[in-house]
């Protein structure tokens, strides 16, 4: 069944009739990033107004692969479980060369994580769930559809926006403007910020089809990638499964292909039949893309902050666009809330740039390498790839050279100034199953959202104002303690260690002998209060 | 035919892109010359004749 794009209701903005009191945060764009941003802030009690020029969710599935770390962040934002329940969990990826399978990989053989390595779920579902969740904060999230931001002016300590609606124009003041307006960000263009980088000449046909019969063995969802498939000579192809019996097919096209003509059903249908054979299907969505790998030099410009695709775009091989943007949200939310609450200096926001610019550079590096591998530019590049493929049939090292996208993994923040150097410092939370006063639990549910000190094994945690405490494999403490039924928590973190987690689940310090002074100091450092 | 253990990962992508970068801007003939030099340098780096003979045979073994 095709997705039902029910339009969100348009509501008259108060600013159309009388000046609105200055907002704390205005978010331009209700894509996955803008919506997640509003929810993150609302969970910290920070109100925001979200302005979107449109009134439906993402047209077309676009982002379909959501990585484990993203799902863990979505868990904190209250949509993770719903996404997991609806999404297609897949583990096995197969790489083909011509008609032959070269090798297959299993994503997460490791047990003891609440979320799998990846799920596939159409972006329109992700956005629908985020909108539903945002509506749970009627006093904190003011969602305004059909409100297009047409101008903004940074006045030093606030920003003035011009907004266009079906009923006319109004202006709005905000302390901070979060530009979540996507790859074509008008905010970015208005500011004349340079946004240049590698644009790949190759075009890709992206098609979603609805098909009752699974093309995969035993109907188990997998990811299939072909180099030089028999049905699509000399190019590459990808087949992936989404919920509702929707399958995603990516086909590399010629550099000089006519994108419009290629997207016509009479062109697309025979191409798909060549892949899926006689199985009946319905064409759900077709689009032709050229991909880019670009990021802004700076994500923070005084009171205007870029988040998600407005700050960085990557080619989709490796699924790092939406996933990277959600990590931006995770990084920025607690910092902005702390600055707005007067608990941290404004300079803390610069660390959002430092840390996420690093993350997006990593994503760009990986995505552009994958895209380069998939689209050799010279005869020598084609030669190396052909021989790597040939060797890959039996040489394990050559299998690892094949690159159809290195799937997104959480980025480490080790070495950045907010972290106190030490073991595990900078690492994103690694989940583990726990058993606590209220039954089964997961580590990710316990440490995200606030500064949390976790003691692994017999180790005493001092009480410090503003830091939650949790003991694992300890008893008789005056703070919540959990057992480690599988032993995985202690195995993953080491016994006799305390870790201080930032509100975004990154370890910012670890201690063998935690004392109140060094813990406070590490927390203050993570808030940008102390070196 | 020798199936060797993988010694490149986790740096395989760094290596591969450095290899491609080394060829950037070269005409095809220059690229072949670079490859030849590279084989010779790598042979000297390995410096173990039986191992090299084995590699030559393995590479040749994929001829179709
Ligand atoms: C074919 C394809 C496949 C992809 N696959 C994946 C994947 O598998 N995994 C993954 O993680 N990512 C993937 N991505 C990337 C992912 O779609 C993007 O990274 C993601 O949509 C970025 O979210 P965003 O909220 O930053 O921007 P967008 O989703 O573009 O949202 C921007 C929003 O801002 C609104 N807006 C724009 N201008 C204005 C204005 N002036 N005023 C008001 N509102 C405005 C728009 O209407 C829109 O709602 C894929 C992308 C494509 C194209």
Q: What is the pLDDT of residues A460-512, one digit of tens each?
A: 999 999 999 999 999 889 999 999 999 999 999 999 999 999 999 999 999 99
Measured between its terminal Cα atoms, the distance across chain A in Å is 56
Contact present, A12 and A28 (Cβ < 8 Å): no
Task: Judge whether A434 and A474 are in contact, CB under 8 Å.
Answer: no
Q: Is A208 in the pocket of ligand 1 (CB under 6 A)?
A: no
pLDDT at position A23 is 98
Q: What is the pLDDT of residue A105?
A: 86
Contact A240, A64 (CB under 8 A): yes
How many whole angstroms separate alpha carbon A326 and alpha carbon A76? 12
Q: Residue A109 above 80 pLDDT?
A: no
Specify whether domain A14-88+117-193+297-352 bears CATH 3.50.50.60.
yes
pLDDT at A233 over 90: no
Residue B1 predicted with pLDDT over 90: no
Cβ-Cβ contacts under 8 Å for A493 (sequence gap 6 or more):
A424, A430, A432, A454, A456, A499
What pLDDT does A201 receive? 86
A171: burial class by Cβ within 10 Å (0-12, 13-18, 19+)? middle
Do the chains contact at B31 and A366, CB–CB below 8 Å?
no
| pLDDT band at residue A319 using 50, 70 and 90 as cut-offs | confident
Q: What per-residue confidence (pLDDT) applies to A491?
A: 96
Angle at A138 between CA A8 and CA A54, to 5 degrees: 25
pTM recorded for the entire structure: 0.96
Ranges of beta strands (E only) in A300-408 are: 300-301, 304-306, 312-313
Domains A14-88+117-193+297-352 and A433-526 share a fold: no
- Residue A530 pLDDT grade (very low, low, confident, very high; cuts 50, 70, 90): confident
Q: Of chain A residues 365-384, which have a CB less than 8 A from chain B?
A: 366, 369, 372-373, 378-381, 384
According to DSSP, the residues that pair with A161 across neighbouring strands are A152, A172
For A393, name the nearest residue in chain B, comparing CA atoms only.
B62
Q: What is the pLDDT of residue A190?
A: 98
Query: What pLDDT is recorded for position A134?
Result: 98
A91-100, A178-187, A420-429, B39-48: segment of lowest average pLDDT: A91-100
Q: Which residues have C-beta within 8 Å of that of residue A135, sequence separation ≥ 6?
A: A141, A143
**pLDDT tens-digit map of A38-60:** 999 999 999 999 999 999 999 89
pLDDT at A200: 85
Task: Say how far apart CA A420 and CA A422 lie, in whole Å.
Answer: 6
Give the whole-number percent of chain B exceeding pLDDT 70. 98
Please tell me the class of the A433-526 domain: alpha beta
Helix (H, G, I), strand (E, B) or coil at B46: helix
Contacts B39 to A, Cβ<8 Å: none
Spatial neighbors of A411 by CB under 8 A, at least 6 apart, are: A327, A358, A359, A362, A428
Mean pLDDT calculated for residue range B32-37? 98
Average pLDDT over chain A reads 95
For A510-529, write each residue's pLDDT tens digit: 999 999 999 999 999 999 99
Tell me what the mean pLDDT of segment A181-201 comes to.
94
- Euclidean distance between CA atoms A181 and A194, whole angstroms: 16
Task: Please report the pLDDT score of residue B2 as a whole number.
Answer: 85
> A511-526: buried (b, 16+ CB within 10 Å) or exposed (e) per residue?
beebeeeebbbbbebb
pLDDT (mean) for A365-372: 92
Task: DSSP for A123-179, please give it.
Answer: HHHHHHHHHHHHTT-TTTEEEETT-EEEEEEE-SS-EEEEEEETTEEEEEEEEEEEE
| Residue A520 parent element (H or E) | helix A516-526
Distance A123 CA to ligand 1 centre (A): 9
Report domain extents, chain A. Answer: 14-88+117-193+297-352, 433-526
Q: How confident is the model at residue B64 (pLDDT cuts 50, 70, 90)?
A: low
Alpha carbon of B12: minimum distance to chain A alpha carbons (Å): 6
Q: Mean pLDDT of all residues in chain B?
A: 95
DSSP 8-state class, residue A10: P
What is the pLDDT at residue A202?
A: 84
- Report residue A492 as tokens: 């993953």
CB of A161 shorter than 6 A to ligand 1: no
Say yes or no to pLDDT of A74 above 80. Answer: yes
Nearest to A340 by CA among A5, A28, A20, A42: A42
Take atom 20 of ligand 1 and give the residue whose Cα is closest: A322
Average pLDDT over residues A155-161: 97
Q: What is the percentage of chain A residues whose pLDDT exceeds 90? A: 89
Interface test with B, best of A401, A402, A412 (most B CBs within 10 A): A401
Q: Which chain B residues have a beta carbon less than 8 Å from that of A388? A: 16
Helix (H/G/I), strand (E/B), else coil: A284: strand
State pLDDT tens for residues A210-225. Answer: 999 999 989 999 999 9
Q: For position A531, what pLDDT does the model report?
A: 65
Is A108's pLDDT higher than 70?
no
Residues in B closer than 8 angstroms to A375, CB to CB, are none
**Residues A458, A498: Cα–Cα separation, whole Å:** 10
| Distance, CA of A158 to CA of A511 (rounded, Å) | 40
């Amino acid at each position: 069944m095709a997705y039902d794009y029910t339009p969100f209701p348009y509501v008259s903005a108060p600013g159309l009739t009388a000046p609105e009191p200055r907002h704390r945060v205005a978010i331009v764009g209700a894509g996955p990033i803008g919506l997640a941003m509003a929810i993150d802030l609302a969970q910290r009690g920070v109100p925001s107004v979200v302005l979107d020029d449109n009134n439906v969710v993402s047209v077309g599935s676009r982002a379909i692969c959501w990585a484990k770390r993203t799902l863990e962040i979505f868990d904190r934002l209250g949509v993770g479980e719903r996404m997991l329940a609806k999404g297609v969990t897949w583990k096995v990826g197969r790489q083909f060369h011509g008609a032959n399978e070269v090798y297959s990989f299993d994503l997460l053989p490791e047990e003891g994580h609440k979320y799998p390595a990846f799920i596939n779920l159409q972006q329109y579902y992700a956005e629908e769930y985020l909108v539903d969740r945002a509506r749970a904060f009627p006093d904190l999230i003011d969602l305004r559809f059909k409100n297009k931001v047409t101008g903004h002016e940074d006045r030093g300590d606030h920003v003035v926006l011009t907004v266009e609606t079906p009923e006319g124009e109004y202006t709005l003041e905000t302390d901070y403007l979060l530009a979540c307006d996507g790859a074509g960000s008008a905010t970015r263009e208005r500011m004349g910020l340079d946004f240049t980088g590698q644009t790949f000449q190759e075009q890709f046909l992206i098609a979603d089809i609805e098909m009752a019969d699974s093309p995969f063995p035993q109907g188990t969802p997998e990811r299939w990638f072909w180099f030089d498939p028999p049905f699509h000579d000399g190019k590459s192809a990808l087949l992936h499964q989404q919920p509702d019996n929707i399958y995603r097919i990516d086909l590399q096209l010629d550099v000089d292909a006519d994108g419009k003509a290629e997207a016509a059903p009479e062109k697309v249908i025979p191409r798909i039949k060549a892949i899926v054979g006689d199985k009946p299907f319905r064409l759900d969505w077709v689009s032709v893309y050229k991909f880019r790998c670009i990021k802004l030099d700076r994500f923070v410009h005084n009171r205007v902050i870029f988040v998600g695709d407005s700050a960085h775009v990557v080619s989709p091989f490796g699924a790092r666009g939406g996933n990277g943007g959600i990590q931006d949200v995770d990084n920025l939310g607690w910092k902005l809330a702390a600055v707005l609450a007067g608990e941290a200096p404004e300079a803390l926001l610069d660390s959002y740039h430092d840390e996420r610019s690093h993350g997006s550079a990593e994503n760009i590096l990986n995505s552009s390498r994958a895209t380069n591998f998939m689209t050799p530019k010279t005869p020598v590049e084609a030669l190396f790839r052909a021989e790597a493929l040939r060797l890959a049939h039996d040489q394990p090292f050559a299998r690892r050279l094949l690159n159809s996208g290195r799937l997104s993994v959480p980025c480490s923040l080790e070495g950045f100034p907010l972290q106190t150097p030490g073991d595990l410092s900078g690492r994103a939370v690694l989940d583990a199953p726990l058993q606590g006063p209220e039954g089964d639990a997961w580590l990710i549910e316990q440490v995200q959202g606030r500064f949390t000190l976790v003691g692994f094994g017999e180790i005493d945690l001092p009480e410090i104002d503003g830091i939650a405490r949790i003991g694992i494999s300890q008893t008789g403490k005056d703070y919540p303690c959990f057992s480690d039924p599988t032993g995985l928590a202690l195995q993953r973190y080491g016994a006799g260690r305390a870790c201080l987690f930032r509100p975004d689940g990154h370890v910012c310090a670890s201690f063998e002998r935690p004392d109140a002074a060094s813990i406070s100091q590490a927390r203050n450092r993570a808030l940008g209060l102390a070196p | 035919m020798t199936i060797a253990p993988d010694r490149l990962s986790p740096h395989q992508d760094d290596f591969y892109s450095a290899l491609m970068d080394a060829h950037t801007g070269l005409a095809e003939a220059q690229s072949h010359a670079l490859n030849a030099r590279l084989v010779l340098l790598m042979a000297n780096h390995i410096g173990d004749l039986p191992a090299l003979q084995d590699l030559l045979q393995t590479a040749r073994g994929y001829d179709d």
